[in-house]
Each structure stands twice: as structure tokens, then as C-alpha cells.
Chains A and B, each alone.
Chain A
Amino acid sequence: MPAARRRPSASEQLTGWAFVTPGAAIIILFGAVPIVWSAVMSLQRNNLLTGKTPYVGLRNYRALVHDPVVAQAVQHTLVYTALFVPGTMVIGLFLAVAMNRKIRFISLYRTAAYATMAISAISEAVVFIWLFDPSYGIVNYFLSLLGIPPQQFLNSPSQALYVIVAMTVWGWTGFAVVIYLAALQGVPQELLDAAAVDGAGRWTAFRRVTLPLLSPASLFLAVWLTINALQLFDEVYLSTQGGPLNATTVLVYYLYEQAFQNFNFGYASAIAYFLFLIILVVTAIQFRVGRRFTYYRS
């Protein structure tokens, strides 16, 4: 039946619209309309408390460029991302390679890694605050066994961000392991055997055969983790609230403060679009660079 050439009947049109309407209505109302609306709001002085919303042109964006807290927040966000993304990927890859074999207890090991996916940001934050507590935390106890004096961790402006890196790397390890394990199952044993026949050692075979075959998974993880890292909020809100001394104020946290504590919706919308721009630029660079290193078997 040459269905594709036939003009759609009125009833097909009607059915089509009936089927998409509920889903499309929700997505347009809560997804598409807000995209335009917040763009408009970013051009207004929109403060919920005053009620008037005059247009101010690009003033919010100009203010943003000169806001020292925004500069700090951008720096913290980028430092965090630069540590979190490679950290999670390297640990995830290492564990996935170690777990990609049929040895005893292997499902136990894998389950331990997967379990980190089930924990919510709040429990993750609470446990790490407790582990890294300056006075009673067990991490300081372990350090004392090594003769290292107790650290302030989340109370220290120079250390707090790194503790947040540690807690989120831990929380995302399971995800990275799952992605890499799935990709490793797709590496054909014949290729590794062939490399071994050609005299390649295990490390060479890993670098020359396995790693290139994993590159699509690596690119996906890099992009996905980066998008999430640039949007870091939950752990910061739950552990440091941006402190101490703004040391962990990341972009989304500052945006939240501006929007829902100061009710500067206009300025907050400008920050949101600025964040969107950063995400677009960073992921575009990743795809650009990634394409050169990514190997697709077609």
C-alpha cells in the first residue's frame, strides 16, 4: 500500500492532533512558553516585590558582566566542572574495566558501584558533611592516623569546593560505570585476541583497541556530565549554601538566590540565559574536539 503518497484523511489529521494534544500542551505551557517568557523577563527590571516591570534593554546583562559575584560564580562553576568531569570519567572507566570480567563476587562489586545511583542529593550531602565534619568527622580521624592535622573542609573557603567535587564524583560513579560497562560489552574479544597475536601487550591493546572503541561512550559521558556540572545546585544548597565567604557560590546557586530570595526575576533570567550560553559554548567545543577523537563503527 503506497501509504506515504496518500493525502492524510481528515480523520487521520484529527486523530493525530488528539493524540499529541495532551503531551504537547504540557510541554508548550511549561517548556516552550517559559523559554520565550524568561528571555523577555531578562530585558525587564522585574522585581516581584515592586510589581512594575519596565523594560530596561540589556541593562541586566550589562550588570551581570560587572557583578563580581557572577565572576566568582563562573570561576567556581568552571573549576568544579574541570575537576568533576574528568574525575568521574577516569574513576568510572577504571572501575568498569576492572569489573568487566567474570570473576567471583563480580556482581557484588558491580552492585556496590550501582548503589551510588540510588542515593539522593540530600543523603549524599548529609553523609559527606558528616564524613568531613571538622570536629567529629571520620576523615579527619583517618588523616590523624597519617599524622596530618585536622582540616576545616566545608568550613574552609579554600577546601569547600573540593569536598563538593568529592561528594558528587562519588554520587556519579555508578552512572559512569554503567555507561562504560555497557560500552565495554560491545568491544569484540576477537579484536583484542588479534592484537595479542600481533604482539601487543595488554596496555597497548587497551590503548589502541579498547579506548578508541569506547570513545563514543566517553564523548557522551563528557557532554552529559558537563551539562550536569554546569547546573550544579542541590549539593551546594544542601551543604554550604554558597559559603563560606562565597567560596562555593556556583552560577545556579547565585541564580536561585537572585530569583527566589531577592525576587529579582529580571536579573535572574539574565543569569539563566548567560548559563545557557555557557552550556551551549562548552558542549559545542566538546563535540568539535570530541569528533576528532571519536571513532564510530558504522
Chain B
Amino acid sequence: MAASSGVIERRRFRLPFSPWHLVLIPATIVLIFPFVWLIVTSVETPAEALHFPPVLIPRELHFANYPNALAAAPFGRFFLNSAVVAVTTVLCNLVFCSLAGYAFARLRFLGRGALFAVIMATLMVPFQVTMIPQFIITKWLGVHVLAQVGINHLGALILPNAATAFGIFFLRQFFRTLPVEYEESARVDGASRLKVLWRIVLPLSMPALATLAALTFLDSWNNFLWPLIAITSTNQMTLPLGLATFQGAHATEWTLLMAANVMSLVPMLVIFFAAQRYFIRSVAATGLAGT
């Protein structure tokens, strides 16, 4: 895998370290610099931040920005809203997409082909085409059916994404690769379809379920356009929307803004690094599935 392990030794003179470090160190500095500068600014005083040339190393760590930012907007609430929406969306997708994916993979029922085609067709269409009717439908549902799934409620962020065409397609493809013999013998022993799915198929599908969960979580957590349309009241806002509103109101208070962004970023980075293997594998899987 490494270039240095090639069969033919071409060079006589060798650096004491791989020359690729000379490329990777500057590249890494450029990649992480925005993160570093975000953190540095978040612990500067406003006077230090609004100084040119910029203060690269603050004289002291001005952590007061953090409580000040928290006092200026309900970030705890935003965070909780984002977490509730993301976790519920992930759970709903795992349940609904597993059920539908399994039915499309293994069961035969009237209209299966047509229904599957309709679901696949929605995959091609960009969100911008559907967002206006989605807004009207959500609004109508909130007024006439259940307030909790209407405009300005967290349900409005969960329900439209509670099952995705991608999730159904992805799990269907995975289920079809599983050997059908286990399921058949369980059926002969009298197990119901639901039991077969729960006891046999899903335990064999953990990598696919983890991938779907990771991708759905990232999508939900970072979603901006739909919450921007569906939510206007502050206490129902998710983190990106809350931060954007905060940015609008405190555009020149850079230190507060940076502190707020650091607070929003840290949990995501922690989750990301804790589950890095899953995220990386998931992203790579969608890429390789596409090729």
C-alpha cells in the first residue's frame, strides 16, 4: 500500500522521514486553521478581536464569552431540539425503512413494483421542487390533524424525514444479499414475518443499519433549509437555525458568535470522532455503492 514498499528500490539517498510529511503538514495546517481561529477568537476580548493586525495569541483566556453567549440565546434549548429531532428521525428511519425494505426485498404483494418505482422516482427530484408543497401540507396537517406535526413544531422537522427513499432502497439492497435459507427455516418453524425480520434479518444487517443511522443523523443535524422554512419561534429552533438567528442579531459581536459556534461544534466533533469509523465507512459505502 505504501509507496515505499514497492519491489524496486530506486533511491539511494533517503530523508530520515517520509517526504510526504512536507506536503501533509502544511495541508493539515490549512485544513484545521479555520477550527483553530474559531477557538482562538472565542477566548479573546472584544477589543482583541476587533484589532488589526489580528491578535494571534490572546493575552489571557477570556472564557466569559461562553456564559455571555449562553445568556444571549437559549443554546441549550437549540441543542436539545436538534438532538430530539435527529435521534427521533434516526429511530423512525431504522424502523420504517427496515419494514419497507424487507417487504420490497422478500415479500410479494400486489402493486409492489409500481410502488417501488414511485418511491425511487422521488429520489431523483431535488428538495427545492418539493419544499413548497411540503410546507403547505405540513401547515395543513398542523391545523387540521395534529398541531405537533405542524409549522413551528419539532414534529414538522421529523415527520417529512421519518422515512426516506434512500433508506428503503439501501436496506432493500442489503437484505437481498443475505442468504434466504435462515429465514425459510424459521418460517417453517412457525415464526411470523415480523419475528423473522427482528430475530434473523436485522441482527445480520447491523453494518447497514449503522450506516443508515450515521448518514441520517448527519443529515438531520445539519439540515438548514427546511427548518428555516418550517420554524419561526425561537424555542422550537434547531441549532443551525438558532445560530443563524443569533448571527443575524449579533453580527459584530464576534467573540460571542465564535463561543456559540464552538459550543455547537464540540458535541458534533465528539460524536463524529467517537463514531468516526462508522461515519467514514458510511460515506465510503455510499460512494462505492454509487460507482
Contact = CB atoms under 8 A, between A and B. Distances in A.
Asked if A and B bind, the verdict is yes
Interface of A: 1, 3, 8, 12-17, 19-20, 22-24, 26-35, 37-38, 41, 95, 98-105, 108-109, 111-124, 126-128, 130-131, 135-138, 140-141, 144, 170, 173, 175, 178-179, 181-183, 185, 189, 192-193, 196-197, 202, 216-217, 219-221, 223-224, 227, 231, 233-234, 237-238, 252, 255-256, 259-260, 265, 268-269, 272-273, 275-276, 279
A192 B5 CA distance: 11
A72 B27 CA distance: 35
B104 A170 contact: no
Contacts of A131: 34, 37
Contacts of B160: 26, 30
Given A27-B165, A37-B133, A126-B247, A16 B108 contact: yes
Interface stretch (B50-58, B59-67, B68-76): B50-58
B60 to A, nearest CB: 20
Nearest to B127: A231
Chain B, interface SS category: helix
Interface string B240-254: 100110010000001
A237 B228 contact: yes
A117 B261 contact: no
Given A19-B103, A34-B137, A234-B224, A279 B109 contact: no
17 contacts: A13-B110, A16-B103, A26-B160, A35-B125, A101-B3, A115-B269, A118-B269, A123-B243, A126-B247, A136-B54, A138-B54, A178-B280, A192-B6, A220-B291, A223-B290, A259-B131, A276-B128
A108 B28 contact: yes
B152 to A, nearest CB: 14
Question: Range of interface residues on chain B?
Answer: 35 or more
A15 B115 CA distance: 15
Contact of B261 (A31, A33, A126): A126
A178 B96 CA distance: 29
B205 interface: no
A118 B268 contact: yes
Interface of B: 1-8, 17-18, 20-21, 23-24, 27-28, 31-32, 34-35, 37-38, 41, 49-54, 95-97, 99-100, 102-104, 107-110, 112, 115, 118-119, 121-122, 125-137, 159-160, 162-165, 167-168, 184, 193, 218, 221-222, 224-225, 228-229, 239-240, 243-244, 247, 254, 257-258, 261, 264-265, 268-269, 271-273, 276, 279-280, 283-284, 287-288, 290-291
A28 B108 CA distance: 20
Given A31-B130, A268-B132, A100 B1 contact: yes
A115 B32 CA distance: 8
Most buried by B among A37, A127, A135: A127
A3 B107 CA distance: 11
Contact of A130 (B41, B51, B229, B284): B41
